[in-house]
């Protein structure tokens, strides 16, 4: 899968202001809070299990759940998670806008996943359409989960990734990507 790209429950952050109205901005205040120094980390570290309340061992397995609980109780891990959000809202957004202005697009097959019980589709429509502004070969579908797709429905996510991986061949030549079964690969992932 090194020749493909699979975002989960996201859209290019540079796109967000283009589609946001007052309701969307109010509902998406979390990213703005995350930009503040130390406050998000303190809030999460005060009660990590409450912050990740939708994640349960019956959804992701006891061992994976135990690993996640260990991770989210580490202030260093929480800080790195928040720094990833901060980068998305700052340096990553700047890079996305520069790529867009230069006409650069992702040429590799891109499989997107998003939560069907989160607000991404409600506010921004079909996430594939957003990604098609940034990539030339986009497929994907929603997964029945809350915000934490991989943790809340790992089986459906893994099945989709395996199907996608089986259909996409490694790059045959620079600038060229082939999919097995031609158009069937696109239809199989565009549910």
d(CA 190, CA 186): 6
3 within a domain of the structure (yes/no): no
Q: What is the mean pLDDT of residues 2-11?
A: 55
What pLDDT does 129 receive? Answer: 94
d(CA 106, CA 131): 9
3-state secondary structure of 107: coil
Domain of 73 in residue numbering reads as 13-189
6 within a domain of the structure (yes/no): no
What pLDDT does 182 receive? Answer: 43
d(CA 103, CA 147): 31
What pLDDT does 65 receive? Answer: 93
3-state secondary structure of 108: coil
User: Model confidence at 9, in pLDDT bands (50, 70, 90)?
Assistant: low
d(CA 98, CA 115): 28
d(CA 63, CA 45): 22
What pLDDT does 77 receive? Answer: 96
Would you say 35 and 89 are in contact if contact means Cβ atoms under 8 Å apart?
Answer: yes
3-state secondary structure of 110: strand
158 within a domain of the structure (yes/no): yes
Mind listing the pLDDT tens digit for each residue in 161-187?
999 998 886 544 455 444 444 443 443
Mind listing the pLDDT tens digit for each residue in 145-165?
998 999 999 999 999 999 999
Q: Which residues of 43-60 are buried (b: 16+ CB within 10 A; e: fewer)?
A: bbbeebeeebeebeeebb
Mind listing the pLDDT tens digit for each residue in 13-66?
555 555 555 555 555 566 667 778 888 899 999 999 998 888 999 988 999 999
CATH number for the domain that contains residue 143: 3.40.50.1820
CA atoms within 13 A on the CB side of 31: 18
177 within a domain of the structure (yes/no): yes
Mind listing the pLDDT tens digit for each residue in 80-133?
999 988 888 889 989 999 999 999 999 999 999 999 998 888 878 899 999 998
3-state secondary structure of 176: strand
4 within a domain of the structure (yes/no): no
What pLDDT does 7 receive? Answer: 56
Whole-structure pTM value? 0.70
Look at the chain and report how many structural domains it folds into. 1
What pLDDT does 177 receive? Answer: 44
84 within a domain of the structure (yes/no): yes
Would you say 144 and 117 are in contact if contact means Cβ atoms under 8 Å apart?
Answer: yes
8 within a domain of the structure (yes/no): no
Which neighbouring-strand residues pair with 173? 176
What pLDDT does 179 receive? Answer: 43
136 within a domain of the structure (yes/no): yes
Would you say 177 and 137 are in contact if contact means Cβ atoms under 8 Å apart?
Answer: yes
């Amino acid at each position: 899968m090194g020749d493909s790209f699979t975002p989960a429950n996201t859209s290019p952050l540079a796109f967000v202001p283009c589609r946001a109205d007052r309701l969307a901005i109010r509902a998406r205040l979390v990213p703005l809070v995350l930009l503040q120094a130390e406050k998000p980390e303190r809030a999460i570290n005060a009660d990590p299990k409450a912050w990740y309340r939708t994640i349960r061992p019956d959804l992701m397995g006891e061992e994976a759940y135990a690993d996640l609980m260990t991770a989210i109780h580490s202030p260093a891990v929480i800080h790195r998670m928040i720094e990833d959000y901060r980068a998305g809202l700052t340096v990553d957004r700047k890079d996305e806008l520069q790529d867009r202005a230069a006409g650069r697009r992702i040429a590799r097959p891109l499989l997107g996943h998003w939560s069907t019980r989160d607000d991404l589709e409600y506010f921004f429509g079909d996430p594939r359409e957003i990604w098609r502004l940034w990539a030339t070969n986009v497929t994907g579908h929603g997964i029945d989960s809350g915000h934490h797709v991989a943790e809340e429905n790992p089986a459906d996510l893994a099945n989709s990734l395996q199907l996608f991986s089986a259909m996409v061949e490694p790059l045959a030549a620079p600038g060229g990507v082939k999919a097995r079964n031609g158009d069937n690969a696109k239809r199989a992932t565009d549910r």
